[in-house]
Structure 1
Amino acid sequence: MDDNVRVKWTNELTKRFLETCIEEVHKVGRNGGSLRKETWVKVEIKLEEVCHVKLTQKQLKNQYDYLKGKYSRWVYLRNKTGNIYDPEMNTFILTNQEWEDFFKGHPKARTLKTAPLIYPDLCIALFEGTSATGSRAYAPSSTRERTTISSSSFTSNIPTTQEIYGSLQMV
C-alpha cells in the first residue's frame, strides 16, 4: 500500500491494532517507547491476516504515535481533574469554560472533548510506563529545560499554561 493513501482507522481496526501490539510487546518487549523493528513487521502481517487490510509500517507507526499522544493527554487530564472523569461514559465532565481554560495550556487535547480516548484499557496496557505524563513530563527532545513542580496542590480550576509554567522551579 502506498504511504500516501489515507487509512480509515475504524474502531475494529484500532482495537485489533492495539491488541496485536500488546501481544507482541508481551512476547518480545519494546524498543524504548515504541515497538521493535521486527514487531512492526509482525503487526503488519497480523492485521493483514485478521482485518484484510494492507498497511505500511509508516502508517502503523503514525497510528501508534497518534494513540500514544492522545493517551498521554487523556492520562494527564484524568489525573489532574479528580472525580470529573466518568469511566462508564469514558468522558470528562467539564463546563465549556473549563474545557477552554484547559485548552489554553493543552491545545492538542481538544479531541478529548468530542472524541474520547478509544479503548482506554487497551491503551493503558500498551502505553503505561512508556512516556512521561502529567506535570513531570519531560522528553529528551524537549525544547525547554527539565523542570519539577514545586507544589503538588491542584484545585478544581484547571490551570492555564501561564499558571503551570509560572509555578515551575528549575532543577
Structure 2
Amino acid sequence: MSKKNSNFTTTENVASGSRKLSALWNAQTTAIFIDLCIKEVDLGNRPGTHFNKVGWARLVTNISKEIGRPYEKLQLKNKWDLLKKEWKLWKDLKGKETGLGWNVAKNTVDASEEWWQDKIKAEPKYARFQFEGISPEMEEKLDMMFLNVTATGKHSWAPSSGVLPVESDDDVNQLEVNGD
C-alpha cells in the first residue's frame, strides 16, 4: 500500500508493520539537492567519486531541513548516481560537436533531425534528450559535481585505436624546473 504527497510516497510493509518514505524527485527537490551537493564539493567532502561520511551526513541533514521531510543516505546516493549517469550520457551526446545551439522552446540542443537520427542510431538512449535536454545552467552545476572525478573517455586511448593522439598544450600540465 502506498500514499502519495508532493515529494514522497509512503510505503507500508503490512507484514512487518514498518513504514518507509520513498523520495519522489521533482525539479525543485532536484535543484535543492544539486545546490547542496555543490556546497559539499566546495567544502572538500567529496574526496573521490562520492562524498565522505561527513559530506553524506551533512547532505542528509541539510536536504531534510530544506525540504521539510526526512531523506536517507541511500536515497541521496541513488539520486547522485542517476544524475551522474544522465550527465555522462549528455556529455557523450554532445561530444566535441561545435556550432550546436540551444532551443529554448524544446529545452534541448538545437540540431537538425538528421543529426538527431544519426546520434540516436549510434546510441538509442540519446532519444530521451531530443525533446528535453539538460539546460546549460544545469550542465554547469553538474560539471561542478562530476567533471574532475568521472571518466568521460575524452582522454582515453587503446593500442587498437591506432596512432597515439598528440596532446595539445591545453591538455598538458607544464612543470617548471629550477636549476638550483
Compute the TM-score of the two structures, normalised by the length of structure 2. 0.66
In the TM superposition, what is the alpha-carbon distance from 1:86 to its structure 2 partner?
A: 1.6
The one-letter code matched in structure 2 to 1:35 is F
Matched residue, 1:110: 127
2 CA distance for matches of 1:29 and 1:146?
Answer: 37
Q: Which runs of 5+ in 2 are unaligned?
A: 1-9, 12-18, 166-180
Q: CA deviation at 1:122?
A: 1.3
Note if 1:42 corresponds to 2:58.
yes
Give the secondary-structure state (helix, strand or coil) at the position aligned to 1:131: coil
Following TM superposition, the consecutive aligned residue runs of length 4 or more in structure 1 with deviations greater than 6 angstroms are: 1-4
Which residue identity is paired with 1:14? T
Q: CA deviation at 1:50?
A: 0.9
What residue number does 1:93 align with?
110
TM-score between the two structures when normalised by the length of structure 1: 0.69
Aligned residues: 146
CA change 1:148–1:7 in 2 (3 A) is farther
Distance 1:147 1:72 in 2: 24
Q: How does 1:58-77 map to 2 (within 5 A)?
A: 58-77=74-93
Identity %: 22
Q: Is the 8 A contact 2:33 2:63 kept in 1?
A: yes
RMSD of aligned alpha carbons: 3.2
Unaligned runs of 5+ in 1: 139-144, 153-171
Q: Larger Cα Rg: Structure 1 or Structure 2?
A: 2
| Cα distance between partner residues in 2 of 1:32 and 1:79 | 24
Q: 1 or 2, which has the higher helix percentage?
A: 1
- The answer (yes or no) to whether the contact 1:21–1:126 under 8 Å persists in 2 is yes
Taking the aligned partners of 1:69 and 1:133, their CA distance within structure 2 comes to 11
Is the contact made by 1:70 and 1:109 (CA closer than 8 Å) also made in structure 2? Answer: no
Rounded to whole Å, the distance in 1 between the matches of 2:33 and 2:159 is 33
Higher RCO (CA-CA < 8 Å; seq separation 6+)? 1
